[in-house]
Amino acid sequence: MKSVRDTDKIDASRLALSVGATELLALSSDLIFKTCPDGTPYTVLKHPENAFKIFGSNWDATIGVTLDKLKGLAGKVGIDIKKRVTTLYDGLDGINGFLAQSFNASYLTYSTRPCDPTSVDALRKSTATLQAATGILIAIKMESSRINPDVNRLEDLQSQLLKVVNPD
């Protein structure tokens, strides 16, 4: 029979899949390992306000580069395209703030009620949204890095991103 500590290690390995082994190792002192009344293990951050910085590290790394690319692109195009690129830039900046706030809220709810299936499901959905949004953001970064980026494609990608982040 597995001890509670062995079960906690299994749960931590699942966390490693979503965060990354290097980040998990760095976080080990910032994690709390516990067990729900039904015996299900869970792991939460000691500082849940840092959830987006940790789980959204790929997003964070990509958004900065993408915004820089769009800012650089705005300086290279004509006035009519510049307005569209500026709108894209502002839109991405707004999506960035919304996504971070939304994910942190879901994680905070989960961290206060980690044994509640509703909060676990909400965190799973937020994590899936973050992963899907990061994939679209990477496509935006790649398009904006091209020698002659297609602004129509960038606008389409941003529209897709908005639908993923805020489907309502």
Q: How far is residue 71's CA from residue 63's CA, in Å, rounded to a whole number?
A: 12
| Angstrom distances, CA of residue 69 to CA of 62, 89, 106, 114, 146 | 11, 9, 30, 39, 10
Q: Quick one: pLDDT at residue 5? A: 39
How much is the pLDDT for 83? 82
Mean pLDDT by 10 residues, the chain (168 residues): 39 43 58 88 87 86 87 76 84 91 93 91 91 92 87 92 88
Predicted pLDDT of residue 27: 60
Q: Does 106 lie in the same domain as 23?
A: no
Looking at the structure of the chain, the number of domains it has is 2
pLDDT at site 109: 92
Could you tell me if 103 and 26 lie in one domain? no
Q: Are residues 146 and 117 in the same domain?
A: yes
Structural domain of 131: 56-165
CA–CA gap between residue 18 and residue 58 (Å, rounded): 11
Burial (0-12, 13-18, 19+ Cβ within 10 Å), 15: buried
pTM value is 0.77
Do residues 32 and 99 share a domain?
Answer: no
Report the C-alpha gap between 23 and 41 in whole angstroms.
20
Statement to judge: residues 28 and 62 lie in one domain: no
Four-residue CA torsion sign, 86, 54, 58, 56 = negative
pLDDT of residue 118: 92
* Same domain flag for 77 and 154: yes
34 and 85 assigned to the same domain: no
51 in any annotated domain: no
CA-to-CA distance for 130 and 166, rounded, in angstroms? 11
Among 9, 26, 46, give the residue marking a domain's end: 46
- Are residues 68 and 40 both part of a single domain? no
